[in-house]
Amino acid sequence: MSEIDASQIQALLDERAILQLMHRYAHAMDYGDEAAWVDVFTPDAVFDVIESVGGQRIHREEGHGDLAAYVAAYPKPPAFRKHVLVDPVVQIDGDEAQVDSYWILLHREQADGMPVLAAFGKSRDRVVKTDGQWRIAERYAEVEATTFAPVATPEQ
């Protein structure tokens, strides 16, 4: 059996920290911890969400101010939602990494409390390590299917 060196241990620790970052993102958003959600991003982060079919932008935020305004308007419990990260693939290169994953959004119907698979898609995150902490610098998400109404275009 070969010896494990310090760089291999550090790579495992970094991957674990990045996965924890992604889970903190979901937990903070789903339970309305706005400050914690904004804190998973770098101050100049970009969050860009588009529809896969047609490529229409759903929303885009740039920087902590935009991110704070977005999450402030996001539904809070008891309008329960769950962001589920699926099959994340983490590629680390020094103090930068890429995370490719699938995601599922579940929500609770207000009328009857029934659970609904509301949307799913994929995302690509560029995360950076600054001052010993991993944060999201760019989050690009594609909505591949959703039960929500389509985004209105200026022509509609």
Residue 102 is assigned to a structural domain of this protein:
yes
Residue 156 is assigned to a structural domain of this protein:
no
Residue 20 is assigned to a structural domain of this protein:
yes
Residue 113 is assigned to a structural domain of this protein:
yes
Residue 76 is assigned to a structural domain of this protein:
yes
Residue 152 is assigned to a structural domain of this protein:
no
Q: What is the pTM of this model?
A: 0.91
Residue 22 is assigned to a structural domain of this protein:
yes
Task: Provide the β-strand partners of residue 115.
Answer: 108
Residue 105 is assigned to a structural domain of this protein:
yes
Whole-angstrom distance, CA of residue 88 vs CA of residue 19? 8
Q: Are 40 and 28 in contact (CB under 8 A)?
A: yes
Q: For the chain, 156 residues long, give each residue's pLDDT as a single digit of tens.
A: 578 899 999 999 999 999 999 999 999 999 999 999 999 999 999 999 999 988 899 999 999 999 999 999 999 988 899 999 999 999 999 999 999 999 999 999 888 889 999 999 999 999 999 999 999 999 999 999 998 766 554 444
Structural domain that includes position 106: 6-146
φ/ψ of residue 94, rounded to 5: 70, -125
| Phi-psi domain of 154 (left: phi exceeds 0; alpha: psi -120 through 50; beta: other) | alpha
Strands (E), the chain: 41-51, 57-62, 81-93, 96-108, 115-130, 133-146
CA distances for 32 relative to 11, 36, 79, 102, angstroms: 31, 9, 10, 22
Count of domains for the chain: 1
Whole-angstrom distance, CA of residue 91 vs CA of residue 11? 10
For position 116, which CATH number holds? 3.10.450.50
